[in-house]
Amino acid sequence: MRRRGRWLGAYAWLVYLFLYAPIAILVVFSFNKSTQTAVWAGGTLDWYRSLARNELILASVKNSLIVGVASTIIATVFGTLAALALGRYEFRGKGITKNLLYLPIIIPEIVIGAALVTFFGVLALHLSLWTVTLAHVVFCVSFVAIVVRARLSGFDRSLEEAALDLGARPVQTFFRVTLPLIAPGIVAGALLSFTISIDDYVVTSFVAGVGATTLPLQIYSMLKVGVTPEVNAVSTLLLLVTVVLIVIAQRLQQPPGEGVRD
């Protein structure tokens, strides 16, 4: 038993090493003096300083945040509504609706991008930051809906029935019973949606227009002259923000008095 435990532990460490070593290297190299990303030449904070002056990268971070927040809000509202409808009502075409909801996840991103740019072309909708946001909503809705549905599947309907029995109106029941119970699922879906939006390259590259360069597009375009440690620096900061967000979200998900879950 002990032996197996030790092997399992070693295996687990290896898996974590595999997952996190590249990220650790990226963080370390963001403090690298050399302009070449693969050669270590001593520590420096210069890349963070030049980052603070690089208007292009800062503008792209701003664009990414605008798109991430806007598409997350829209996708969370519609994804949650879709999950509720599918989770508790029977209606004609429910099976198809359910499958259609999974489509944006299954279809290759490049096809979604292609389809969307054609669609926008037909609508004569000029490419901008808003077309990027709309495009992100398309696939984010699915992720939110799936996460929220998973939460709903373990939902105890008798709690809602009790609320209604005790005189709460349906709207009150929704906001005071249902919503707080599925909130962790909604927050998790929103977070997932935000992270997917922030790092999307393929779809974005199709639908971005004037002034809509997001951070992944910016980083890719810099490949022409080689990835500088500035990119490592901005990625490190983004990583930091994401980690902080996730920690906050996990705290929020814990009902008071309860220990760590999930």
Chain residues in the site for other proteins (CB under 8 A): 35-39, 55-56, 110, 113-114, 117-118, 120-122, 124-127, 131, 205-206, 208-213, 217-218, 220-227
Closest CB to other proteins among residues 38, 171: 38
Closest CB to other proteins among residues 56, 244: 56
Phi first, then psi, for residue 136 (nearest 5°) are -65, -35
Comparing CA positions, the residue from 113, 64, 109 lying closest to residue 218 is 64
Phi first, then psi, for residue 32 (nearest 5°) are -85, 135
d(CA 138, CA 85): 18
Closest CB to other proteins among residues 196, 212: 212
Closest CB to other proteins among residues 80, 205: 205
Other CB atoms closer than 10 Å to residue 96's CB: what's the count?
Answer: 9
Closest CB to other proteins among residues 109, 250: 109
Q: How near is the Cβ of 76 to other proteins at its closest, in Å? A: 28
Closest CB to other proteins among residues 87, 209: 209
Q: How near is the Cβ of 120 to other proteins at its closest, in Å? A: 5
Q: How near is the Cβ of 92 to other proteins at its closest, in Å? A: 31
Q: How near is the Cβ of 225 to other proteins at its closest, in Å? A: 5
Contact 220, 163 (CB under 8 A): no
Structural tokens at position 72: 């997350």
Q: Which residues of 192-221 are buried (b: 16+ CB within 10 A; e: fewer)?
A: bbbbbbbbbeebbbbbbbeebbbbbbbbee
Q: How near is the Cβ of 203 to other proteins at its closest, in Å? A: 12
Q: How near is the Cβ of 36 to other proteins at its closest, in Å? A: 4
- What do you get for the CA distance between the two ends of the chain, in Å? 26
Going by the DSSP 8-state scheme, the letter that residue 32 receives in this structure is B
